[in-house]
Amino acid sequence: MSKEITNLDPKKLWENFYKLTQIPRPSKKEGKIIQFMREFGENLGLETIVDEVGNVIIMKPATSGMENRKTVVLQGHLDMVPQKNSDKTFDFEIDPIEPFVEDGWVTADGTTLGADNGIGVAAAMSILESDDLQHGPIEALFTIDEETGMTGAFGLKADVLDGDILINMDSEDEGELYVGCAGGTNGNMKISFIEENVPDGHKAFKLELSGLKGGHSGIDIPLEKGNSNKLLNRYMWHAAKKHGLRIGEIDGGSLRNAIPRESFAIVTVPAAGEKEFLECVKEYDKIFKNEFLSIDPGIKLEAKPAEIPESVMDKVSQDKLLNAVYACPNGVVRMSTDMEGLVETSTNLAVIKTEGNEVKIQCLMRSSVDTAKEDLKNMFTSVFEPVGIDIVFEGEYPGWKPNMDSAILKTMQDVYNKKFGKIPEIKAIHAGLECGLLGGVYPNMDMISFGPTIRYPHSPDEKVNIETVSKFWEFLLETLKAIPVK
């Protein structure tokens, strides 16, 4: 079934994308894809470099008559977000993605597809192996670990590239040109607790908050989708006060940059109050269904009988945790006043997990305004620090400030208008494109980002629109022809 995508047009691009789907490449586990890309470049007889952090750079000379054009860096990232449905048996470090065609889109069977950023990588591969396309000098930069730390972009040295223009192919709306993005930082919270015996007369249940769509914590954050960690905590906060709930274990979310879709907890309640506890679960299930009817209609809260846990969290620590997570900011914090419809500042309460006698919490905070990002960090500190929950910020990366006088922006606007009869929209994105970091290393490089239409990235519903991939490809080819002389 999955190989049917190789019959789509443009054929060469889809063939390369299919090859990528067959190579495991979750973030921080890119060894196989790095080796594949190294061999890909070397087999073409092109100069190929793997730098000290694992980025792959492949150089291709200009085609005949285009030698005097400015050098273009075609840039994409090799890693993909590993998300799957809970009922899907799949190992992202071993198993190939299973793509298929459905109603004009390519999607995957129960997992993320990897179109983010596999389509961009496949496009660059197709340019590199072509012998009938017109272009000036090309430097293809394939970075690693974009999704969980941007360590590839962080580690790129200033003496690797000679390009004048960087075309990032990691945007997700065809017909739009991106000239700016948000910066971000990671928040890591941790609370230690005393393991206590389960109170006498208690009965155990597994709470399951599931059925949410999730998605990209930057791009999808303005959709106000449900956050399973916040919602499960909301119920447990109530049940702890009304029904004597005690927490044995929590497991919610998996990645900072994905809105959590499922959260679970092993809890105990007095057996004498079992009926009231289960009625309360049903009540909150109805509340959540009503609140998220239009955006997350599949949401459900359930309580299933479970084995009594070995221990539960001490009551003082449990109260601190439930109160802090309840108060923790999540979602859109502020919209931009400069660009209509753009989120300026947001946060995603991404992961809550019990490990031994600790509960660890991970958040990703984004903002296109540095001072607003600092304010958000202060906000988190004021929630967690006073109750004794440790908080550390790390992995901060800069935003990408728009340059409305960009030469490549004007070139691509003209090319798109001539090719498709309209001027593309100019936008900034509330996500962490690598352009901000790469611009710090190469401050004189003119940068832009574009791509085909991708929906629900970072979730098992991820899909890419077939028609827009064709337009993206045609636009890229015409842009390379139009690159000005040095």
Residue of 35, 244, 48, 153 whose CA lies nearest to 433: 153
Shared domain check, 424 and 361: no
Residues 143 and 22 occupy one common structural domain = yes
d(CA 447, CA 427): 13
In a shared domain, residues 466 and 454: yes
Catalytic, 195? Answer no
174 and 198 share a domain? no
Q: Give the whole-angstrom CA distance, residue 14 versus residue 2.
A: 11
CATH code, domain with 427 = 3.40.630.10
Tokens 């109050």 found at? 273
R_g of the chain, CA atoms, integer Å:
24
Residue ending a domain, among 350, 371, 396, is 396
Residues 86 and 104 in one domain: yes
Supply the range of the domain harboring residue 473.
Answer: 2-182+399-482
Peptide bond into 329 cis (omega under 30): no
Are residue 23 and residue 149 in the same domain, yes or no?
Answer: yes
pLDDT of residue 194: 97
- Extract the tokens encoding 76: 């994409």
Residue-level pLDDT at 395: 87
* Contact in structure between 249 and 266 (CB atoms under 8 Å): yes
Asked whether residue 211 falls in the same domain as residue 176, the answer is: no
Coil vs helix vs strand at 172: coil
Distances (CA, A) of 237 to 211, 229, 259, 302, 320: 21, 12, 21, 16, 10
Token readout for 140 is: 């293809």
The 8-class DSSP code of residue 4 comes to G
Selection from 34, 15, 40 nearest residue 99 by Cα: 15
Residues 9, 44, single domain; the answer is yes
Task: Specify whether the CB–CB gap between 188 and 204 falls below 8 A.
Answer: no
- 341/407 same-domain check: no
AA identity, residue 202: H
pTM, entire model? 0.80
Which pLDDT belongs to residue 86? 84
pLDDT at 420 (0 to 100): 97
- Of 107, 214, 126, which is closest to residue 464 (Cα–Cα)? 107
Sheet hosting strand 463-465, strand order edge to edge = 99-102, 105-108, 463-465, 454-455
Return the amino acid letter for 403.
N
Neighbours of 461 (CB within 10 A): 19
Which of 373, 396, 419 is the endpoint of a domain? 396
CB 263 within 8 A of CB 250: yes
Q: What is the CATH number of the domain that holds 259?
A: 3.30.70.360
Does residue 196 sit in the same domain as residue 211?
yes
Give ∠ CA 471-118-398 in degrees, rounded to 5: 100
Q: Which residues contact 343 (CB under 8 A, 6 or more apart)?
A: 182, 218, 221, 222, 332, 334, 335, 336, 366, 430
287 and 422, same domain (yes or no): no
The amino acid present at 94, given as its one-letter code, is I
The answer to whether 310 is a known catalytic residue is no
Q: How far apart are CA 404 and CA 477, in angstroms?
A: 23
* Residue 158: per-residue pLDDT: 95
Number of domains in the chain: 2
Does one domain contain both 382 and 407?
Answer: no
**For each successive 10 residues of the chain (486 residues), what is the average pLDDT?**
87 98 97 98 98 98 97 98 93 97 97 97 98 97 94 95 97 95 94 97 98 93 96 98 98 93 98 97 98 96 98 98 98 90 95 97 94 95 96 91 93 98 94 90 96 95 98 98 96
Cα dihedral sign, 329-335-336-341: positive
Q: What is the pLDDT of residue 337?
A: 87
Q: Catalytic residue among 30, 79, 139, 461, which? A: 79
Instruction: Give, rounded to a whole angstrom, the gap between the first and last alpha carbons of the chain.
Output: 47
| Residue among 116, 139, 146, 173 flagged as catalytic | 146
Taking alpha carbons only, the member of 221, 160, 228, 219 closest to residue 438 is 160
CA–CA distance, 254 with 431 (Å, rounded to integer): 18
Domain termination site, one of 396, 418, 450: 396
- Residue 117 in contact with residue 77, Cβ under 8 Å? yes
Q: Supply the pLDDT for residue 3.
A: 82
Tell me the C-alpha distance between 450 and 276, whole Å: 54
